[in-house]
Structure 1
Amino acid sequence: MDEGRHRRAGRPARALGWTSLGLGVARLAAPGAVRRLAGVDDSAWARLLVPLAGVRELCHAAVLLGSRVPGPWVWSRVAGDAVDLALMGCATARRGRARRRRAAAATAAVAGLAAVDLTTALRRGGRPWDRETTLHAAITVRRPREEVYRFWRDLANLPRFTTHLESVTVLDDRYSRWTVRGPAGRTVEWDAEIVEDRPGAVVAWHASRGAAAAGGGEVRFADAPGRQGTEVRVALRYTLPYRAAVARLLGEHPEQRVRDDLRRFKQVMETGEVVRSEGAPEGAHAMRLLRRRPARPVATGGAP
């Protein structure tokens, strides 16, 4: 999609970003007036929640106005609308008659805005649980192209350098079973099929149907300029894109993890193992290396 189409597709989402900016500024600059208009009392909870809602709206504005593709972020406003409607429902049920009327009017306004948010999210952001994200990464390995291809083509080697994989069991020339360690210690498995295999050039696979978080990927191999080894280019596809959004906020973007995996792959190909030290002696399995620590000299006794 070119830049002009990106801008046109993102206009409704950015309009909601400006709406969030206005609501956020109002709730922070004049929280008392907002409480009165909404039929909310002056309790400690109300004095706390209105400014917090303002901060939340400013966060919505930041991502909607700052993102090149803001459509998926409209779902954050939909979630905020649900919170606001729940709180307004409590206000309508518990206040006096005059305040209930104001609260009911405010609830209707929030519900109308929620309908706009939901419609925009479905049209511009799609259903978040059905969207697919593609990650790209590349690295140069100082080994011959055929050797690099053969190592990757044996999918059982992938857990040696890929942190999220617990194991890959090769079933036959086309099919394999992938196991990852999921949240809360759960194990997630799916079958994958090789859909393209050109020796020395490309390996592509796709997960079986019903594998919710798994998509597929491809790896392309090419001779590096000046006979400097092999260029390895990876494209990975997976669903559940908000995992990537949350990870970005935590400073652990999945694309960075893929680049880290490729660096470990380079080490395995060039040295025979992932470089480790006294701080990570567990072995070459990539998942174990997450527990590594800086190496320290062995204590020999005596005063430091």
Structure 2
Amino acid sequence: MTTATHYLEVNAPADRCYQWWRPLTHLPQILDDVESVEPRTGDANVTHWVVDGPLGKKIEWDAKIIDEEQDRKIAWKSLEESNNHVDTGGAVRFDNHGDKTGVEVSLHIQPPGGKVGELGAKLFDDPQKKIEKALEQFKQLMEK
């Protein structure tokens, strides 16, 4: 399993940071490989993810929010029954410091074997660097 975690301070209140993250649909703005995250059948807790892979291949899966605490944390995990070939999930935590918020993001992926596994492995090359870049972009969005 590959895991990446990064923490930084954002000059924005926790409730604003949480509201941006909550639908998960904004993630393509900060994660370059994520093409889309859309709600599934009107359920705000289930989303369909489409991620760009190498050679124009797309990897898709459904994920569900599995743990949530308003203005404090959101955690999600891919659903086994979604026909996905990737076991993945993540969490974001918000530490309220008044006008500032500590934001910590953790992502994990367990790519399968075979060709899809190769795509997943290439897709998630250097996940630490990708998550650091994503949080920097999030910080810029929140501090505008």
Q: Normalising TM by the smaller chain, what interval?
A: 0.7 to 0.9
**Aligned equivalent of 1:201:** 72
1:182 matched residue in structure 2: 53
1:149 counterpart residue number: 18
SS of alignment partner, residue 215 of structure 1: strand
Q: Distance in 2 between matches of 1:214 and 1:156?
A: 19
1:89-238 correspondence runs (5 A): 132-171=1-40, 172-209=43-80, 210-224=83-97, 227-238=98-109
Q: Tell me which protein shows more strand as a share of its residues.
A: 2
Give the superposition deviation at 1:185.
0.1
Letter paired with 2:21: W
Give the drift of 1:259.
Answer: 0.2
What is the identity, as a one-letter code, of the residue corresponding to 2:90?
A: G
Aligned to 1:257: 130
Bigger radius of gyration, 1 or 2?
Answer: 1
Given that residues 61 and 85 in structure 2 are in contact (C-alpha distance below 8 angstroms), is that contact kept between their aligned partners in structure 1?
no
1:196 deviates by: 0.8
| Structure 1 position 214, deviation (Å) | 4.0
CA–CA distance in structure 2, aligned partners of residues 150 and 214 of structure 1:
26
Matched residue, 1:60 = none
For residues 210-248 of structure 1, give each alpha carbon's deviation from its aligned partner in whole angstroms, at most 9, with x where no partner exists: 533341011111123xx450001111110139838x94x
Q: Which runs of 5+ in 1 are unaligned?
A: 1-131, 248-252, 272-304
Say whether the 8 Å CA contact 2:91–2:105 is kept in structure 1: yes
* Identity of matched residues, %: 32
Equivalents in 2 of 1:164, 1:214: separation in Å? 16
| Structure 1 residues 83-115: Cα deviation after superposition (integer angstroms, max 9, x where no partner) | xxxxxxxxxxxxxxxxxxxxxxxxxxxxxxxxx
Q: CA RMSD in A?
A: 2.0
Distance (Å, rounded) in 1 between the aligned partners of 2:44 and 2:25 = 12
Unaligned runs of at least 5 residues, structure 2: 112-116
The 5-angstrom pairing of residues 50-69 of structure 1 reads none
The one-letter amino acid of 1:176's match is T
Are the equivalent residues in 1 in contact too, given 2:10–2:100 (CA < 8 A)? yes
Contact 2:66 2:75 in 1 (8 A): yes
TM-score by length of 2: 0.84
**Contact 1:142-1:228 within 8 A present in 2 as well:** yes
Which residue in 2 is equivalent to 1:97?
A: none
Of stretches 213-222 and 260-269 in structure 1, the one that deviates more from structure 2 is 213-222
Distance 2:87 2:58 in 1: 13
Aligned length: 132
- The AA in structure 1 aligned to 2:22 is R
Q: Which residue of structure 2 aligns with residue 287 of structure 1? A: none
